[in-house]
Structure 1
Amino acid sequence: MLTYFLIIFPTLAIIYLAFSYWQERKYRRKPFYKLADIGWKKCTLPPPDDLVHSVALLGDPGAVATDGTDPVLKLVEQWKLEAGQRGTALLLGDIVYPVGLPPEGNMLYNTSLLRLNTLLDTFKHFEGQSIFLSGNHDWNKGRKGGYKQLLRQEQHVVEYLQNEEAYLPRNGCPGPVTKQLAEGLLLLIINTQWWVQRGEKPLGAKDGCPYEHIDEFFQELKAVLRQNKHQRIIVAAHHPLYSNALHGGKFTLKQHIFPLTAAHKRFYIPLPIFGSLYPFYRQLFGAYEDMSHGRYKRMRKRLLRIFNRYSNIIYAAGHDHNLQHFEVRQNHYIVSGSGSKTAFVKKGGKATFTLEELGLVVLNYYKNGQVWMEVRAVTSAEDPNADPVVFRKELQSVLQAAPQQVVQ
């Protein structure tokens, strides 16, 4: 009986693992569509002349190629030609890998500065506007000294672009900051890293922030949303509120069997069973940058409690290195974090779209009030004449109130 168990059980386990791995391999780097969106190519767009404003969501571009060959920046150049003065580029944090812009003399300084300047040169002469947000890597991966690191990077961006509003929110403050992009389209920016940051972080007049207690942030956020029910609102941040990827607690089978590949991609040392401890820890308790971590969880819960009262919100973030879309309670949640890296994303669940490829998301706002999302990926852009759009969807939303005064 024992011999039977020792043979059959491992055999079944191996078959199950092999099948699971095969299933993962089947859909990795392939777009997943919700059943209702499979026919997205047949969608009818408003006329190009009806475009009022275009917003490019470029997340986690911190490892861009600096020799002019970067494929995502080529997508950006194409978008810039289309958008022109009607365009806003939002760089959704993790602007420079691995730790933002360190001080001169640091061994990472020259590489980091070159990467940052490559991004800045991309937008320096852009007819529209570009706005940089901060992510956990820009704050020294959330470690001690991150606040000073962030301020150094912010100052460089503002001075390089000669624009005081090129980096928002300023001074590392939580926000919210608003900008009217067009009539009926409001941008609201939040510095989500503030909530998960360890050590020093700014608050109050001494740090150039508008309030002394963080509860005032939520009061201001509620006021902005309440007074702008008549508008489409794009909320930009670094950390997603929904994700089918690493920071949302989703891991590949390989990460369970070969957990040391998280430290280095060549560390293929099999540790079955024991190897699952690390993914389970990330799922249950989380690192500081994971949704399951206490600080992140509290921030997410409080933001969703506020957003769920409305149905005119598009929340855009990076952080996870892939492209995702969720529609929850008539609001839309986008992950556009594959500006320079890619990572596994699980299909299905609450997601309407997922893709593990380099790329960005574009939001187009038209005269009739419609907002269309376009996912543009590098895979289809290898042919210069190919359409980079791999998914398109109208982001329906219900405006809840008659026009009121816009909060600037």
Structure 2
Amino acid sequence: YPAGLPDPKDSTQAYIEAKNHLDAQIKTLENFKGRPLFIPGNHDWYTEGLIGLEREENYIKRALKEKEKDPFLPENGCPIDVIEIGEDVAIITIDTEWYLTNWDKRPDINDKCEIKSRDKFFLELEDAIKDYRDRTTVIAMHHPSNSYGEHGGHYSLRKQFYPKKMAVPVPVLGTFINVLRTTSGASIEDNNNKRYRELMKRVTTLAQYSDRVIFASGHEHTLQYILENNTPQIVSGSGAKEGFTKLLNGSQFSTGKMGYATLEVYKDGSSRVRFYGVGENNNEEFLFTNEVLPPTQVTFEAELTVSFPDSVEASVYTDNEIEKSRFYKGIWGERYRKYYGTKVKVPTVRLDSLMGGLEPVKKGGGHQSKSLRLRAKDGREYVM
């Protein structure tokens, strides 16, 4: 920050400053026993594009001495990568700047990527969400889906007077600049930008394939917890800089203080977010906590029948659903109502004895179907 990691041959001073910023972040991991993970944002692309991004990626790899597990994802300026944390958590990392940036100005952007189109990216994201729908799935992306800070069109009173870090206040002009920025969506880094909205609407829609998705982002120099569109959004981007934000709509927590957020995932499937800020005398200050996802392991008590008929008759549609008036049939015809209403007699099976006994593993299905994956005692899997 603010422009990735410059080439020391071009500017020694800029390189040293950027290096110090990276080293300060890396130093926080000295006693960290887990897997460190850095994801790129828009500023990391600002110096020489893909070349500068890979320079930063390689620097972090060398500094952390990580050989097997890559600490910088996605790699090589590509759009998406997935890592598993144990058997209960998956992290889908997305380089949102890859999607937002102008590809015409970056002809080399996909040279090292298997995914070479935005449509293919969405297909990969959809598959990843479906594959891990039975786990807590964190979608880590720099740009948030929702925000009530400056990138979301909300500005402080000071920003109305000093919109562009000007030395002299410009009250009327300042407000005009802010309104123009919000309404025009000229910057690809703002929520109201056409491509930004396109990306986030699609990502949010795909997230609905799972009820265990959490968005984790930065971008805004604020701390926010937002619950909208059935998906919780954690914004933690004020590690080194303060910003402005409002508590609106689905916001559960919002502050412009410097600080950070933690996400804790428990064995029962539940998760909790905690926000910490800088208090008096630069001491750590607890700010807010909230449950993010409820437990998946729920105790269910009920008296269930163990007696089933040998066979069952059923049809796709009931008689009431296929019965139509003469007028209706005269316009639309008979179609296939007869077949959809035909009852079929099928034998009843018990999962505990079928194929030697089957155990439900996970639910499945896609756009038009629903399925259940089952596993036999010999390890074979079946889909019902």
| Same structural fold, with TM-score higher than 0.5 when normalized by the shorter chain | yes
SS in 1 for 2:171: coil
SS in 1 for 2:129: helix
1:245–1:344 Cα contact (<8 Å) kept: yes
C-alpha displacement of 1:397: 4.9
2:223 aligned partner, one-letter code: L
C-alpha displacement of 1:303: 1.1
Is it true that 1:351 corresponds to 2:254 in the alignment?
no
SS in 1 for 2:71: coil
Please list the CA deviations of residues 319-346 of structure 1 after superposition, one character each: whole Å capped at 9, or x if unmatched.
Answer: 0001001112432111101010011101
Alignment of 1:6-405 (within 5 A): 97-105=1-9, 106=11, 107-124=13-30, 126-140=32-46, 145-164=48-67, 165-175=70-80, 177-198=81-102, 199-200=105-106, 204=110, 207-256=111-160, 258=161, 261-264=162-165, 267-272=167-172, 274-286=173-185, 287-379=187-279, 382-383=282-283, 388-397=285-294, 403=362
Separation in 2 of the partners of 1:217 and 1:271? 43
Please list the CA deviations of residues 115-150 of structure 1 after superposition, one character each: whole Å capped at 9, or x if unmatched.
Answer: 21222233256321111111111111xx7x222111
Please list the CA deviations of residues 79-127 of structure 1 after superposition, one character each: whole Å capped at 9, or x if unmatched.
Answer: xxxxxxxxxxxxxxxxxx2211100131311111122122223325632
2:142–2:218 Cα contact (<8 Å) kept: yes
Question: Where does the alignment leave 5 or more consecutive residues of structure 2 unmatched?
Answer: 297-359, 365-372, 374-384
Bigger RCO of structures 1 and 2 (CA < 8 A, at least 6 apart)? 1
Please provide the CA RMSD for this pair: 2.5
Please list the CA deviations of residues 25-50 of structure 1 after superposition, one character each: whole Å capped at 9, or x if unmatched.
Answer: xxxxxxxxxxxxxxxxxxxxxxxxxx
Separation in 1 of the partners of 2:229 and 2:121? 23
Structure number having the greater helix percentage: 1
Separation in 2 of the partners of 1:298 and 1:201? 22
C-alpha displacement of 1:389: 2.2
Separation in 2 of the partners of 1:353 and 1:168? 28
Separation in 2 of the partners of 1:402 and 1:232? 16
Please list the CA deviations of residues 253-281 of structure 1 after superposition, one character each: whole Å capped at 9, or x if unmatched.
Answer: 3323x1xx2332x6242332x33221112
Separation in 2 of the partners of 1:397 and 1:216? 32
1:373–1:393 Cα contact (<8 Å) kept: yes
SS in 1 for 2:92: strand
* CA shift in 2, pair 1:255/1:122, >3 Å: closer
C-alpha displacement of 1:402: 5.2
C-alpha displacement of 1:202: 5.2
Separation in 1 of the partners of 2:295 and 2:126? 18
Question: Where does the alignment leave 5 or more consecutive residues of structure 1 unmatched?
Answer: 1-96
1:230–1:402 Cα contact (<8 Å) kept: no
Separation in 1 of the partners of 2:107 and 2:147? 26
For this pair of structures, how many residues does the alignment match? 296
TM-score by length of 1: 0.67
1:391 aligned partner, one-letter code: F
* CA shift in 2, pair 1:334/1:114, >3 Å: same
Separation in 2 of the partners of 1:235 and 1:339? 20
Q: Percent identity?
A: 28
1:371–1:396 Cα contact (<8 Å) kept: yes
Separation in 2 of the partners of 1:187 and 1:391? 24
Q: Which residue number in structure 2 is paired with residue 44 of structure 1?
A: none
1:173–1:202 Cα contact (<8 Å) kept: no
1:203–1:213 Cα contact (<8 Å) kept: no
